[in-house]
Structure formats: C-alpha cells, structure tokens
Amino acid sequence: MSDVIDTPEPRDTLLIVDDEANILAALARLFRRDGYALLQATSGREALALLATHEVGVIITDQRMQDMSGVQLLATARERWPDSVRIILSGYTELSSVTDSVNQGAIYKFLTKPWDDKSLRDTVREAFQLHRVTRENTGLNAALREANAALTLWNRELEQRVAQKTREALRNLHVLRAAQEIVAHLPLAVFGIDCDGGLVMANRAAARLLPGSSARLGETADEILPTTLLTSELDVAGKGRGRLADGRGISFWRYPLGGASTSMGTVLVIEHVEPE
C-alpha cells in the first residue's frame, strides 16, 4: 500500500518503490535526514499513481516486483515523465537486468543491495542535481520554442504589413501619376508653388503661356510669375485679376494647400487670358 511521508512537498521529491516493507522503511529513514519529500509505493501500479499526482524528481525502484519489474516501471516513467531521474536498486545483478534497464528504462544508475548509505545518498543527491538541470533545460527549450513561435508570427505579420504598405504605396503612386497626367492635359495653366516660394510644377498649358517655365522648376516663383499674381487680393470665391509681363490681362484662382493634405504651398490656376 502506498504511503506519503512529509505532506508539504518541497522542490525535491523522491519516490521509493519496493515490495518489501522493511526495505522501504530503511530507505525512508536514510533519506529523511536529507530533507526530501518522500513518497513510498509497494508496487509499480502504486508508483505510477503517485507519479501522476506528484512532481517527482528521482525514482528509486527495486527490479523484481510482483506486478511489474523495475525496468517496466522506469520505461513507463521515462515515456510519461521524461525529466525524472531513474535509479534501480536491486539484489540481483544478472547482466540481462542491467541491459534491459539501460535500453528500456534509460536509468541513471543501477545499484545493488545491500547498499552503502553514503554512496547511495551521494548518488541521489547527484540525481537531483541532474533533475534540476534537466528541468531548467526543458523550461529553456519551451521558452525558446515560444519565442521562436512568437518571432515567426511577428515576421509573418510584418511581411503582411509590408505587403499591404507596398500595395498601398503602389496604388498611391498610380493615383499620383494619373493626377499628374490629368493636370498636365488641363486646358488651364496650373502652377504649383511650395511653402518656400519655389516653383515646383507647371503643366503644359502653363508652359505654353510662359515659355520656359517648366525648365525653371525649382527657382523662385516671383522671378517667373508676375508678383501681383502671388500677392493681389482675391474675391470671396478666391478669384483675382492681374496682368502678365507682356501686359495681357488675366483672371486666376489662387488656393493655399494643406486643407485636405499635409502639403504646404499654393496652387495658381490661370483661367482666362486676354488676346494679344
């Protein structure tokens, strides 16, 4: 029958499995002084039940038991709780038992009865050190997998965002080119002036009205356009009147940029020019 000693379960929990009650008692007395949480089972099935409800770091089991061998128990423990460190303590040293234990149960140590107390305690202490390292590595590997999964997701989202921004940029570029082509073919002369007063755009009609204006983009607008077009007062509709350098009268609209965009500057549209 299974027995749990020291109800508060500290970090290091030791499970002892043997179908002989006197062996269990002797081992419990030996390891109680080391401060482990001690779990005892008299069969493999009881041991598996304890393993399912407790976080066990080290398992010490006898090899020959009635319901299952120690090798079978440790093989199952390795499959279900791979971080546990597994030790066989047996009064039988036949080579087949040792070989089976290594191949099937992935044991840490195969020890014989009767045991040396100090040697057995040292072995269990080292086994717990191995368990802590193994558990830490398992945690680090899990954290690494989580981080890699998050990074993969982040990269996928980033790729999607970049693709979306690229599509938006291309769409905006197509719109801009279409708008530029429309403005270029307008029958009205259109001039664009930036916030520093530089001429940054002149469509075809503007180039015909003021030959050479397109070639002078980037220069100060008042060196190309009559100053009155840039400074004269406008009516309530934003319309004004003025004259070109050759004396021809014109009517025009002048609009400040920035109302519906982040652009800063002025658009000048010359609507009507008196005939020469």
Rounded Cα–Cα distance for residues 32 and 113 (Å): 19
Token couple for 51: 């393993």
Q: Which residues 6+ apart lie within 8 Å of 89 measured at CB?
A: 18, 60, 61, 62, 111, 112, 113, 115, 120
pLDDT computed for residue 8 by the predictor: 38
Given a cut of 50, whether residue 5 has pLDDT beyond it is: no
Q: Is the pLDDT of residue 9 over 90?
A: no
Report which of residues 116 and 1 the model is more confident about. Answer: 116
Compute the distance between CA of residue 20 and CA of residue 43 in angstroms, rounded to an integer: 10
pLDDT tens by residue, 166-208: 999 999 889 888 888 888 888 899 998 888 889 888 889 988 8
Contact (CB, 8 A) for 220 and 204:
no
Domain ranges of the chain: 3-135, 186-273
Q: Is the pLDDT of residue 76 over 90?
A: yes
Tell me which of 3.40.50.300, 3.30.450.20, 3.40.50.620, 3.30.390.50 is the CATH number of domain 186-273.
3.30.450.20
Say what the pLDDT of residue 261 is.
67
Contacts (Cβ under 8 Å, ≥6 apart) of 53:
none
What single letter denotes the amino acid at residue 74? L
Percentage of the chain modeled with pLDDT above 70: 89
Report the mean per-residue pLDDT for the chain.
Answer: 86
Q: Is the pLDDT of residue 56 over 70?
A: yes
CA–CA separation, 113 and 62 (whole Å) = 9
Give ∠ CA 39-129-19 in degrees, rounded to 5: 25
Average pLDDT over residues 59-73: 90
What is the average per-residue pLDDT within 52-56? 95
Q: What is the mean pLDDT of residues 223-238?
A: 82
Sheet holding 249-256, edge to edge: 199-202, 189-194, 265-273, 249-256, 239-243
Determine the topology of domain 3-135 in CATH.
Rossmann fold (3.40.50)
Residue 141 pLDDT more than 60? yes
pLDDT recorded at residue 2? 46
Q: How does residue 22 score in pLDDT terms, banded at 50, 70 and 90?
A: very high
Give the model's confidence band at 104: pLDDT under 50 very low, under 70 low, under 90 confident, else very high: low
pLDDT at 97 over 70: no
Evaluate whether 128 touches 85 at the Cβ level (below 8 Å): yes
Residue 64 has pLDDT above 70, yes or no: yes
Q: Which segment of 118-127, 133-142, 156-165, 255-264 scores lowest on mean pLDDT?
A: 255-264
